[in-house]
């Protein structure tokens, strides 16, 4: 009998829209509150990256008038669950097209958080260069999120949602990091100290992976 192919159910599109020799995609992962957004802002300033946060794109889509996905996204975010990948991958692909400022360097923050998203994105949008992973203990992340919740206005920065987000992170997102680790594509940075101290380490590790600071 012919072997069954797991790819039969894959989407019909099988070549990426963007090519890694022209477009650099770096995935930025870490638990909720690990400091992904904070470090991304520094990298944007110094390296000429375009920053795309999957969570921000989902929140914008949720609030977009007439969006057919708004209610669904709202529910998933409050429960700390991963929105079906079709929506997130499409939002990211659109953003890469719209927001490229000609430099072709993208930080994709908070994505991929589930294996199916990782596979679909790399097959149909663009293969990644590596994953920048911020490693932070849960108690530190909880404290940061509770603090952020005082001003963030986010529906998921409360104790109950935070617990659910951690569960999703451990059960669903860490396996993605482990899969990239097997490909030797994870750059792990401890994320407990101050933002500036952490960034020193980030810069060092970016250099090791061939990323130089952009000229000011």
Binding residues for a ribonucleoside 5'-phosphate are: 59, 81-83, 110-113, 117, 154, 165
State the first-to-last Cα distance of the chain, in angstroms, to the nearest integer.
61
By CB under 6 A, tell whether 74 contacts ligand UDP: no
Residues of the shown chain interacting with Mg ion in the complex, contacts defined by CB under 5 A: 37
Stretch that binds ligand UDP, among 20-28, 61-69, 72-80, 196-204 (CB under 6 A): 72-80
At 188, is the secondary structure helix, strand, or coil? Answer: strand
CB 69, min distance to ligand UDP, A: 11
Distance, CA of 191 to CA of 161 (rounded, Å): 22
Between 182 and 201, how does the x/- string for binding to ligand UDP read (CB under 6 A)?
--------------------
Kindly list the distances between the CA atom of residue 41 and the CA atoms of 62, 126, 171, 194, in Å, as whole numbers in the listed order. Answer: 23, 22, 28, 15
Task: Select from ligand UDP, Mg ion, none the partner in contact with residue 88, using the beta carbon and a kind-dependent cut-off of 5 to 8 Å.
Answer: ligand UDP
- With CA atoms as reference, report the closest residue to 135 among 80, 178, 183, 106: 178
Contacts of 93 (CB under 8 A, 6+ apart): 17, 124, 125
Numbered residues of the known binding site:
33-38, 59, 81-83, 110-113, 117, 148, 154, 165, 193
Stretch that binds ligand UDP, among 6-14, 15-23, 74-82, 203-211 (CB under 6 A): 74-82
Residue 1 per-residue DSSP state: -
Among 29, 36, 125, 189, binds ligand UDP (CB under 6 A): 36
Q: Name the residue nearer to Mg ion (CB basis): 51 or 105.
A: 51
By CB under 6 A, tell whether 106 contacts ligand UDP: no
Across the beta sheet with 186-190, the strand order is 50-53, 105-109, 24-30, 130-135, 186-190
Task: Select from Mg ion, ligand UDP, none the partner in contact with residue 111, using the beta carbon and a kind-dependent cut-off of 5 to 8 Å.
Answer: ligand UDP
Distance, CA of 160 to CA of 79 (rounded, Å): 9
Which residue's Cβ lies closest to ligand UDP? Answer: 55
């Amino acid at each position: 009998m012919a072997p069954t192919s797991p790819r039969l159910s894959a989407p019909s599109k099988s070549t990426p829209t963007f090519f890694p020799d022209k477009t650099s995609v770096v995935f930025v992962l870490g638990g909720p509150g690990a400091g992904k957004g904070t470090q991304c802002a520094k990298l944007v300033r110094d390296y000429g990256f375009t920053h795309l946060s999957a969570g921000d794109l989902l929140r914008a889509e949720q609030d977009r008038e007439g969006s057919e996905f708004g209610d669904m996204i709202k529910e998933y975010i409050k429960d700390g669950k991963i929105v079906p990948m079709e929506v997130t991958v499409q939002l990211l692909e659109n953003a890469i097209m719209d927001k490229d400022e000609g430099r072709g360097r993208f930080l994709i923050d908070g994505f991929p958080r589930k294996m199916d998203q990782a596979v679909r994105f790399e097959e149909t949008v663009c293969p990644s260069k590596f994953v920048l992973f911020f490693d932070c203990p849960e108690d530190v992340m909880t404290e940061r999120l509770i603090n952020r919740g005082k001003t963030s206005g986010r529906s998921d920065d409360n104790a109950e949602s935070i617990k659910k987000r951690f569960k999703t992170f451990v059960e669903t997102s860490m396996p993605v990091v482990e899969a990239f680790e097997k490909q030797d594509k994870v750059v792990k940075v401890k994320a407990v100290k101050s933002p500036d101290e952490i960034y020193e380490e980030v810069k060092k590790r970016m250099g090791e992976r061939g990323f130089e600071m952009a000229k000011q």
